[in-house]
Structure 1
Amino acid sequence: MLMTPGPTAVPEPVRDAMSRELINPDVDPRFREIYDRLTERLAAVYGVESGGSGAAGAPGDDARDVVALGGEGILGLEAAVASLVEPGTEVLCLANGLYGEGFADFVESSGGDPTVVSANHDEPLPLDALDDALAADDGDFDLATMVHCETPTGTLNDIGSALDRIEAADSDLLTVVDAVSSLGGVSVPTDRIDVCLGASQKCFSAPPGLATAAVSERAWAAMEERDPHALYANFLPFRDVSDGFPYTHLTTEVVALDEALGLLLDEGLDAVRERHATAAARCRERGAELGLEPVPDPGRSSPTVTAFEVPGRAAALQERLREEHDVTLATGLGEDAGDILRVGHMGHNARVDRVEETMDALAAVL
């Protein structure tokens, strides 16, 4: 049983959709119909009015063009930066984890100048330091980046407060948010974000292969001014696909995500989010019974993933769970790889019965 925080288990209707006869996305008009339905469904999950995926331009300040690029979720992070950053672009990277810090690497690779405002991986976002950076004489930023759910530590960040402070300090500052591990399981304030990133393999429970984004009109305008030259790591070619896609799209992955989103919307977003919250609470209750604690305090732990502290034991426990109980969990990442064991109760896996089976197996190997 796959219980990692992405890729998640793919439900049978999605697997069935993937087995249908292949559609050529370059010549078959049915593919465009599927892609358009996909972006409409994505807009519903993002909670925004869709500007559409055809003619360029959104109908209002709160609208977003929703797009799906062919590539794993990390493509969205790199493409967002590559599309908005050029030499001399000043970027504020708000971070309390691996992915928040990783935005700075993408900024540097595009020639920009990152300022990382960071906290330890087990601490909240450094909002006071954010205020200081925004108020500094040299704090003339063009772009701010942050992460909603830091999957390696299971932390759900208070991006609403961060956005409040950014908007109060500089209403023209563009924002990019990695919501890859929260979107679909947690409410995301997409209407306040210029580029809000998601991915197929997390809470949507489709296979890896698509990076999604909801993009504001002013972000598009900035990309047009920047005129990025990359093809894949570039959102601009997807702004207007009325005359075709910039490259042969990932047909099977588009069909799979469309089907997965249909299942999610049929269930209802409120019901899905409640299911995630219930599964997360039960996971942590069972963990407490076993003497395990989540990395951040429960009030900051994400409904989509729980990261338990198991100092020095993560790899051994992971191996025993897989070999003895056919349960696959994830360890931590980076410097925390050996000390954290992660349960992904997201998407199709956000169900109490799957959590119970997982925690029964974990109890047996502890």
Structure 2
Amino acid sequence: MKLMTPGPTQVRANVLEARSRSFCNPDLDPAFYDFYKETCDLLEKALRATDHKAFILGGEGILGLEAACASLTEPGDRVLVIDNGIFGKGFADFVEIYGGEPVLFSTDPLQAVKPEELRSFLEKDADFKYATMVHCDTPSGVCNDIETLSRICGEFGIMVVADSVSAMFGERLDLGNADIDILCGGSQKALSAPPGLTMIWVSTRAFAAMKNRKTPIRSFYANLLAIKDYYKNQWFPYTMPVSDIMGLRVALDNFLSDPEVYDRHERVANATRKAVKEMGLELYLNSGMSNTVTVIKVPENKSADDIIRKLRQKYGIQIAGGFDYLKGKVLRIGHMGENCRMEDVNETLEALKNLI
């Protein structure tokens, strides 16, 4: 089955091979602590981190979102939830779980958040411990300028938690040019490793806020302080999934050795949308489309489930539909990471054209 979903993506053979190698006991082997740290150092390099430490957590990308909220939120904290999509709004659930008070700043879901509107909102109310935002809201494919949005929050002294799970490594992101305190990513998106790992970048300021809490962090597995000093202490809070991390390292090496990666994502995204419109189909968004996923309105008198099933059964291609309020209304093609090849996108579009 050719995976053309917006994550998980196709995985290169060298990543699969790395995951099949014999492995050590990561709790006891000093060489693994070095390997883990070297991999985290490369993650910092990849996103130009200047005041952040990167960590790899054993859990799918959602773990990073929850861990960020669990580690920062105390009962009664007001948290700004920047919402122009399903995952953007979803941050409110994590805030509430840990006793915080989410305040939604909701904007048009058919386009990116406008920085000037956020600034205008904060000029009236900026009493927030931190703000949450999403880089690419995968269900709709809308891409927000989180570098600019985070800097605006920084002007008002507000920390920022950003979800770039389905954007990073496909969309340009420079942590040194942003004011993001906790950045969350996932292995199965544009980095093109199998699902199962969270990558997270944590600023000095965020760790200070965690240390200075009045109440304990209300989680063990999602407690970012628990892993902060792993290298100094030569201790992990839980046994690391060694094989997954060995595969992630090779996927990261693949990314770092590809100087054209961002330009290719942009070219393939533009070509995909041009072809979709030439087929007579309508894109879901008005503007602000991510270079990692294209979202298409389901044509009238057609069934999303039927189209997806026939693509899978007749052509061996898997794309995604929508969920939540977009269920049955959209089709989603992922052109991120290893999916970001014109030959794969052309094959997918040709098959789709035959079904509509």
TM superposition score category, shorter chain reference: over 0.9
Deviation at 1:129, TM superposition (A): 4.7
Partner of 2:315: 325
Deviation at 1:132, TM superposition (A): 4.2
The residue identity in structure 1 corresponding to 2:41 is E
TM-score, normalised to structure 1, is 0.91
- Secondary structure of the residue aligned to 1:122 is coil
Q: Deviations over 1:41-75 (max 9, x none)?
A: 21122211xxxxxxxxxxxxx42111111100000
Partner of 1:211: 198
- Secondary structure of the residue aligned to 1:47 is coil
Identity fraction in percent: 41
Partner of 1:116: 104
Partner of 1:187: 172
Matched, 1:349 2:339: yes
- Secondary structure of the residue aligned to 2:282 is coil
Question: How many residues get paired?
Answer: 347
Partner of 2:329: 339
Contact 2:66–2:222 (CA<8 Å) still a contact in 1? yes
Structure 2: distance between partners of 1:132 and 1:88: 24
Structure 1: distance between partners of 2:121 and 2:72: 20
The residue identity in structure 2 corresponding to 1:198 is G
Contact 1:322–1:328 (CA<8 Å) still a contact in 2? yes
Matched, 1:283 2:284: no
- Secondary structure of the residue aligned to 2:105 is strand
Contact 1:46–1:214 (CA<8 Å) still a contact in 2? no
Q: 352-361 vs 307-316, which deviates more?
A: 307-316
Structure 2: distance between partners of 1:285 and 1:267: 25
- Secondary structure of the residue aligned to 1:267 is coil
Partner of 1:142: 129
Q: Deviations over 1:309-363 (max 9, x none)?
A: 1156221111110011000001012110101100000011111111111111111
Partner of 1:53: none
Q: 26-35 vs 345-354, which deviates more?
A: 26-35
Structure 1: distance between partners of 2:283 and 2:17: 36
The residue identity in structure 2 corresponding to 1:34 is F
Q: 123-132 vs 343-352, which deviates more?
A: 123-132
Deviation at 1:294, TM superposition (A): 2.1
Quick one: which of 57, 64, 67 aligns to 1:76? Answer: 64
Q: Deviations over 1:174-218 (max 9, x none)?
A: 101101111111112323211111110001100111111111100
Structure 1: distance between partners of 2:218 and 2:100: 15
Partner of 1:59: none
Partner of 2:27: 26
- Secondary structure of the residue aligned to 2:109 is coil
TM-score, normalised to structure 2, is 0.94
- Secondary structure of the residue aligned to 1:152 is coil
- Secondary structure of the residue aligned to 1:153 is coil
Structure 2: distance between partners of 1:128 and 1:37: 39
Partner of 1:3: 4
Matched, 1:239 2:238: no
The residue identity in structure 2 corresponding to 1:357 is E
- Secondary structure of the residue aligned to 1:186 is coil
The residue identity in structure 1 corresponding to 2:58 is G
Q: Which runs of 5+ in 1 are unaligned?
A: 49-61
Structure 1: distance between partners of 2:274 and 2:114: 29
Deviation at 1:128, TM superposition (A): 5.0
Deviation at 1:238, TM superposition (A): 1.6
Structure 1: distance between partners of 2:304 and 2:243: 34
